[in-house]
Structure 1
Amino acid sequence: MTRILVVEHEAECPPALFGTWLEDAGAGLEVCRPWAGEELPGPAGLPAYDAVVVLGGSMGADDDELHHWIGPVKELVRSSVASGQALLGICLGHQLVASALGGTVERNPRGQQVGLYDVGWLPEAADDDLVAGLGPVRGVQWNSDVVTGLPEGAVALARTDAGELQVARFAPRAWGVQLHPEVDGPVVASWAAGDRDDHLERGIDQAAVIADIDGARAELDAAWRPLATRFAELAR
């Protein structure tokens, strides 16, 4: 069975639907929670896995001094890329891959991105091993930071209409998605609760955002399950 290491940064950002889809595709998951004191595998332990998924979180990609595991996760990313493992970063995970490989991550000057966004596929996505053929889709975004500078050799695969990076291939077998293909209703509701005061100040109608996401559930599942299936296939 394909073994995938999943790195979780906080309880509010679990593998959720993406984990279920990976398992449906025949993968076995091992979730490591360094925020709860679990030890990340070192370079000697990585060969036990066929692939790595790094999930999202509320911390920043360069918060090494604030969160003791951020630096080690970036070391793990570098080791994974060097080994040629399949690697996928989601939201913070996407930013961590960028930072680990020499890119830059900054606060989005346009403010937090919240809700459903069209995925602006670029021509480079057409023959990519992971995302080719996914077609016009929407995805959930819930992020304040964005990757503003790609590491050397990385390729942008999708951007928003305003130009923010949404999907990238950081190495031949390493990808990142700023969107959240994994989220279900309870996960989004927990994020909304944490951001309630800020969203009230900014005039964001959380109820409408959540209703939009819930109403698009079938669309989102159909759009993003193939990403998990293909990643599991690439991991074999």
Structure 2
Amino acid sequence: MTTTVLIIENDPGSGPGRLLDWITARGLTPVVVRAHAGEPVPADPDGHAALILLGGGMLPDADTDSPWLPAERELLRTTVEGDQVPVLGICLGAQLLAHTFGGEVLGKHGLPEKGVTELTLLPDAQADPLLAGLPSTVPAIESHQDQITRLPDEAVLLMSSERCPHQMLRIGRGWGVQFHPEVAAERVRTWKPDTLRAWGFDPDDVVAEADRRADELEQTWSAVFGRFLDIALLPPGRGRPGWTGTGATVDA
């Protein structure tokens, strides 16, 4: 059985965080490719149980400044279209998923989100294997100014927020989240106060809310990520777990 999870790191300031602990707790081994440092992006996920694309401050088509992005988009396309392994894209990773399959991403669009944000589950979330059974609203850590402004035709929209309508999408077995399930409250405390103020947020309020909701955030996103790993660990030939919604495949 494959026991590794491939993680593509796009920015030294946006690492895998607590995903590493959640992966190793399941007896799996994370394999981190630091694409921003020149480590080559694989052409396919062969030999791994899942693919995770992390965040970064660039747009998904910023190929001049981030020359590894074309290879990352091709890896994403190959993996999702071939239904090879499940995919999770976080922040930039979600934007890459949308952009690669024909959606639109705009820089500094709308109002920024920073710190704990309330997310609303949409109707298709009720049958999604990662989200089924969650409350109608859940908290998540956000840190973005760019956002997905148009979904690909085949995408299923799963979650939204007041400032950002496209918070979570799914294409086949590829999920994209605009928020940061990997970020713990400890990381929020390291955010620069001047940046928070520049984005229109009170630094003390952002840190206090992250601390207050820390246990809830941990419980919610460790469980959701655990379901993602459950799908990654399905034996070959078992097919997908049954779920419904546009763009999904349901077991016969």
Question: Equivalent residue for 2:208?
Answer: 211
- 1:10 positional shift: 1.8
- TM-score normalised by length of structure 2: 0.85
- 1:64 positional shift: 1.3
Secondary structure of 2:102's aligned partner: coil
Question: Equivalent residue for 1:51?
Answer: 50
Question: Equivalent residue for 2:134?
Answer: 134
Question: Equivalent residue for 2:94?
Answer: 94
Q: Following superposition of structure 1 onto structure 2, how do residues 15-26 of structure 1 map, counting pairs within 5 Å? A: 15-26=16-27
Conserved in 2, the CA contact under 8 Å of 1:2 and 1:235?
Answer: no
Q: Following superposition of structure 1 onto structure 2, how do residues 76-225 of structure 1 map, counting pairs within 5 Å? A: 76-84=75-83, 85-135=85-135, 136-162=137-163, 164-169=165-170, 171-190=171-190, 192-193=191-192, 196-225=193-222
Question: Equivalent residue for 1:41?
Answer: 42
In the aligned structure 2, how far is the partner of 1:163 from the partner of 1:15?
A: 23
32-41 vs 16-25, which moves further: 16-25
Letter in 1 for 2:124: E
In the aligned structure 2, how far is the partner of 1:225 from the partner of 1:231?
A: 10
Change (3 A) 1:201 1:167: closer
Letter in 2 for 1:51: A
Aligned residues: 230
Deviations 1:90-120 (A, max 9, x none): 1111111111111110135432111211111
In the aligned structure 1, how far is the partner of 2:201 from the partner of 2:179?
A: 19
- TM-score normalised by length of structure 1: 0.91
In the aligned structure 2, how far is the partner of 1:71 from the partner of 1:152?
A: 21
- 1:59 positional shift: 1.4
In the aligned structure 1, how far is the partner of 2:232 from the partner of 2:33?
A: 18
Give ranges in structure 2 of 5+ residues lacking alignment.
Answer: 234-252
In the aligned structure 2, how far is the partner of 1:27 from the partner of 1:214?
A: 29
Letter in 2 for 1:67: S
Secondary structure of 1:119's aligned partner: strand
Percent of aligned pairs with the same amino acid: 33
- 1:9 positional shift: 1.2
- 1:163 positional shift: 5.2
In the aligned structure 1, how far is the partner of 2:213 from the partner of 2:164?
A: 24
Question: Equivalent residue for 2:244?
Answer: none
- 1:156 positional shift: 0.3
Give ranges in structure 1 of 5+ residues lacking alignment.
Answer: none
Q: Following superposition of structure 1 onto structure 2, how do residues 24-35 of structure 1 map, counting pairs within 5 Å? A: 24-35=25-36
Q: CA RMSD in A?
A: 1.7
Letter in 2 for 1:141: E
Conserved in 1, the CA contact under 8 Å of 2:126 and 2:133?
Answer: yes
Secondary structure of 1:152's aligned partner: coil
In the aligned structure 2, how far is the partner of 1:101 from the partner of 1:144?
A: 21
- 1:2 positional shift: 2.7
* Structure with greater helix share of residues: 1
Deviations 1:34-91 (A, max 9, x none): 1111111113xx2111210001111111211111112211111001112211000011
Secondary structure of 2:121's aligned partner: coil
- Aligned pair 1:226/2:223, yes or no? yes
